[in-house]
Amino acid sequence: MRGQPQEFDRVLSSMCTEPHPVAREAAERFLATNPGDPATYQTVADLEDEAIAGLGELVGLDDPAGYIASGGTEANIQAVRIARNRAVSSTPNVVVPESAHFSFQKAADVLSVELRVAPLTDDWTADVGAVRRFCDEDTALVVGVAGTTEYGRVDPIPELADLAHDVGALCHVDAAWGGFVLPFTDHEWNFEHADIDTMTIDPHKMGAAAIPAGGLVARDGELFDALAVDTPYLESAKQATLTGTRSGAGVASTAAAMAELWPDGYREQYERSQANAEWVAGALAERGFDVVDPELPLVAVPMSDELFESLREADWRVSRTADGKLRIVCMPHVTRDVLEAFVADVDRLLPT
Ligand code: PLP
């Protein structure tokens, strides 16, 4: 066999992680199944129902609608598509905070909607006043992020949801990364806390499922009618997903991971990850770095180009925010040992 898969022990930049062993095993078992054809592949279709019911419980929905997508990008594109297809305006716009993931740019491009990007507060969360100023009668969707990609921040979701409905728009929450840690925090981010319409929550990130497993859930199944197309050659009549053939591995591994880990396993994982984030933030602060306080298990640290490049040369897989801070995403594979080795390398490589 040619090539080796990624070793995880120096990967600090990824929002994905090693799948849990039960998720890996389920993914292998269901590799050749297609939940896009549920009448043919009935077992994996049942597992998808189980996975969506589990996601519903996690996000505070008794009767969730949704499906397992290829990832957060697809889920976000579909949320924008629902809003665009339901919009009354012929020139709909979508208002996102500046912290929104770049998948919304793709969505706007593919779906020909205008993307309006509202500035943030000083704490890198959505500024509700600014979002309000960007909305008008053509606004079809207001987006909030629950666990931002760069700083792990949580937007004021209840206020954004109220604002969306005041202007006659839908509200979508992107909890692609944060969704599996937020249930164990005090944040108001889910369908019980706010009048949210749709949410992205990705099992292949903090959910410890195998890639590809993104999640799109909706309060009301009727929202998916805006996406449904007829499927003449399949046994099922309609399809609301973006791709046709989909990964049974992603679906089965989601159901397996959630059966194994929800809620206690995910709680322990969150507590470990958050403690690690606080530990590494403290260790770097002691060394004089102006560390951004980790609200969720993601640490951002201003750092010179020289040190950043030296760390990359020392084989650390690290990345930076748009304004140049190093990001350490404390995923489950980023253990205390890994972080201690990282801090030791910072000490060794710090320019004197
Ligand atoms: N939304 C957020 C908040 C993310 O952090 C990411 C990726 O990191 C995405 C969406 C896109 O997810 P994916 O890469 O699975 O398409």
Whole-number pLDDT of residue 231: 86
Whole-number pLDDT of residue 2: 67
| 103 CA to centre of ligand 1 in angstroms | 7
Whole-number pLDDT of residue 9: 84
| 104 CA to centre of ligand 1 in angstroms | 10
- Encode pLDDT of 200-236 as tens digits: 999 999 999 999 999 999 999 999 999 999 888 877 7
| 40 CA to centre of ligand 1 in angstroms | 30
Check pLDDT > 70 for residue 342: yes
What ipTM does the predicted assembly reach? 0.99
Whole-number pLDDT of residue 352: 75
- Return phi, psi of residue 238, to 5°: -135, 160
Task: Determine whether the shortest distance from the Cβ of 332 to ligand 1 is under 6 A.
Answer: no
Task: Determine whether the shortest distance from the Cβ of 101 to ligand 1 is under 6 A.
Answer: yes
Check pLDDT > 80 for residue 4: no
Distance CA 202, CA 209 (A): 9
Residue nearest to atom 13 of ligand 1 (CA): 72
Task: Determine whether the shortest distance from the Cβ of 331 to ligand 1 is under 6 A.
Answer: no
Question: What are 164's two structure tokens?
Answer: 């969306």
Task: Determine whether the shortest distance from the Cβ of 177 to ligand 1 is under 6 A.
Answer: yes
The SS3 call for residue 326 is strand
Nearest ligand 1 atom to the CA of 16 is 8
- Encode pLDDT of 46-65 as tens digits: 999 999 999 999 999 999 99
**Residues 6 or more apart whose Cβ sits within 8 Å of residue 129:** none
Beta strands in the chain (DSSP E): 65-69, 93-97, 114-118, 139-145, 170-174, 198-200, 214-218, 229-230, 238-239, 298-302, 319-320, 325-329
| 198 CA to centre of ligand 1 in angstroms | 15
- Encode pLDDT of 126-177 as tens digits: 999 999 999 999 999 999 999 999 999 999 999 999 999 999 999 999 999 9
Residue with tokens 């306080």: 293
- Encode pLDDT of 258-289 as tens digits: 999 999 999 999 999 999 999 999 999 999 99
Distances (CA, A) of 149 to 90, 121, 158, 179, 299: 31, 16, 20, 12, 11
Distance CA 109, CA 106 (A): 5
Q: Tell me the pLDDT band of 250, cut-offs 50, 70 and 90.
A: very high
Task: Determine whether the shortest distance from the Cβ of 149 to ligand 1 is under 6 A.
Answer: yes
Check pLDDT > 80 for residue 5: no
Nearest ligand 1 atom to the CA of 147 is 3
Whole-number pLDDT of residue 306: 96
| 287 CA to centre of ligand 1 in angstroms | 31
Check pLDDT > 80 for residue 1: no
User: Could you tell me which of 351, 335, 343, 328 has the C-alpha nearest to residue 150?
Assistant: 328
Whole-number pLDDT of residue 233: 80
Q: pTM of this prediction?
A: 0.97
